[in-house]
Amino acid sequence: MPASSSSLDMSSLWMPFTANRQFKAHPRLLAGAQGMYYTAADGHRVLDGTAGLWCVNAGHARPEIIEAITRQAGRLDYAPSFQIGHEDSFKAASKVAALMPDGLDRIFFTNSGSESVDTALKIALAYHRARGEGQRTRLIGRERGYHGVGFGGISVGGISPNRKTFSGVLLPGVDHLPHTHAPEHNAFSRGQPAWGAHLADELERIVALHDASTIAAVIVEPMAGSTGVLVPPVGYLERLREITSKYGILLIFDEVITAFGRLGAATAAGRFGVTPDLITMAKGISNAAIPAGAVAVQRGIYDTILEASGSGIEFFHGYTYSAHPMATAAMLAALDIYEKDGLFERADALSGQFEDAAHSLRGRQHVIDVRNIGLVAGVELAPREGAPGARAAEVFAKCFDRGVLVRYTGDTLAFSPPLIIEEAQVHELFGTVAKVLSEIE
């Protein structure tokens, strides 16, 4: 069923990360959302297999969040966040801190994942400078990493189409770890792949090359989402933690996707039992009802930066909309829902069944790998000759027409439903994909 475009003038909008010409020729419009479903503009229901963009963890249009935002809009529509505050910003920070690993209890609010990443990188630099090691400016990311679209984020990121246009002006002094995608060793792993912990040892090579005294931080997604779901090999994150600690290098986990239940725990750090020095987050923090993000910072880092400064402003950084009253209202309501409904535990309890459903696609034509953890799965398809991404794009479009939303990146389909998904809907999700896979060329 084609989506309706009616007589809408689409010419003015430059759509982000979108093939604008293709989209405008064949638009796909959403008009409503409730619980597990979108409603397309032509009226057909679409099961949300991706929680929007990995962000609507509690499902759509939660009345508690709508009410909190509406109440706040009437009470305090906006409050400056520099040299003045409002109560909910402190309450939201405490509530976020309570979900973080021990010690990461200082919270800086942003409005997006990209801002959280740039904020975390700046905190890392400020920290080393505060402790008299201002020469530590090097930042280490990882190939295939996605850290948003700010100049900091694309510099440490490792997705080449996002970088190449800007290659001459990326941050200097950045290096990259190798990615961990190794289907020849790990295809069809369930949960964490057994092979690949040694790839973290590449950090030793990078340290030997540049010297630890020049390196400020390593940033990785504990589970790489946007590049097509790469689950960390067993022991890999532990190894990164050991090496960074040994050399006084800060470890940043970019948990913009993984925080707030996606892997069946409040954070991936908690899920994997590896505690970084900073955690970036966004998306699920407000259930995406209002843009919001945050960085959780180890208390010692905060104390060091504050103590090293004079009596004035300690950190020259912030956003007009840091801790926007509507965002803090949405965060407080969303975090309440996660707790009251036990959604992180629910995601964990459902993850085995989700894994089985994802791996039921093994053996279907075109499927060359299935990867999963928590309520995330990636299904990699063999690319069409000379047309990388085309096969997954066709699956995406056909699934949408049949009432199921999946995501694709390259030739990998990604699944990350709201944590409220029911077992029957898990089957509907993967069952629809199975049918479409059997039909396409």
Ligand X SMILES: Cc1ncc(COP(=O)(O)O)c(C=O)c1O
> Which residues contact ligand X (rule: CB under 6 A)?
112-114, 117, 146-148, 221, 225-226, 254, 256-257, 282
Nearer to ligand X, 92 or 282 (CB): 282
**Which CB sits closer to ligand X, 229 or 350?**
229
Nearer to ligand X, 59 or 141 (CB): 141
Q: Minimum distance from CB of 221 to ligand X (Å)?
A: 5
Which helix (H) or strand (E) element contains residue 177?
Answer: strand 174-177
- What is the nearest approach in angstroms of ligand X to the Cβ of residue 393? 19
What is the Cα–Cα distance from 69 to 35, expressed in whole angstroms? 18
Task: Tell me how long the chain is.
Answer: 441
- CB-nearer residue toward ligand X: 146 or 338: 146
Report in angstroms how near the CB of residue 253 gets to ligand X at its nearest: 9
Q: What is the closest distance, in whole angstroms, from the C-beta atom of residue 291 to ligand X in the complex?
A: 7
**Which residues, 6 or more positions from 371, have their beta carbon under 8 angstroms from its beta carbon?**
186, 189, 193, 229, 230, 231, 377, 378, 380
For residue 94, the minimal CB distance to ligand X (Å) is 23
Q: How far is the CB of 268 from ligand X (least distance, A)?
A: 10
Is residue 107 within 8 A of residue 294, CB to CB? The reply is: yes
The sheet that has 215-220: what strands, in order across it?
Answer: 106-110, 293-297, 278-281, 250-254, 215-220, 138-142, 174-177
Closer to ligand X at the Cβ: 153 or 264? 153
Classified as helix, coil or strand, 59 is coil
3-state secondary structure of 150: coil
- DSSP-derived letter for residue 286 is G
Instruction: Read off the amino acid at residue 44.
Output: H
CB of 304 to ligand X, least distance (A): 25
Q: How far apart are CA 375 and CA 395, in angstroms?
A: 20
Nearer to ligand X, 114 or 186 (CB): 114
Q: Minimum distance between the CB of residue 260 and ligand X, rounded to whole angstroms?
A: 13
Q: How many helices (H) and strands (E) does the chain have?
A: 16, 15
Instruction: Assess contact for 194 and 182: CB atoms under 8 A.
Output: no
**Planar angle of CA 405, 163, 283, nearest 5 degrees:** 40
Residue closer to ligand X (CB basis): 117 or 357: 117
State which residue, 52 or 101, has the beta carbon closest to ligand X: 52
Closer residue to ligand X, CB minimum distance, 378 or 398: 378
Smallest separation (angstroms) from ligand X to the CB of 110: 9
H-run or E-run covering 25: helix 20-25
Q: What gap in Å lies between CA 122 and CA 367, rounded to an integer?
A: 41
CB of 113 to ligand X, least distance (A): 2
Q: What is the DSSP string of 221-271?
A: -SSB-TTT-BPPPTTHHHHHHHHHHHTT-EEEEE-TTTTTTTTSSS-HHHH
Q: Which residue lies nearest ligand X, judged by its C-beta? A: 113
**Residue nearer to ligand X on the CB measure, 86 or 147:** 147
Instruction: Let me know: does 223 contact 232? Beta carbons within 8 Å.
Output: yes
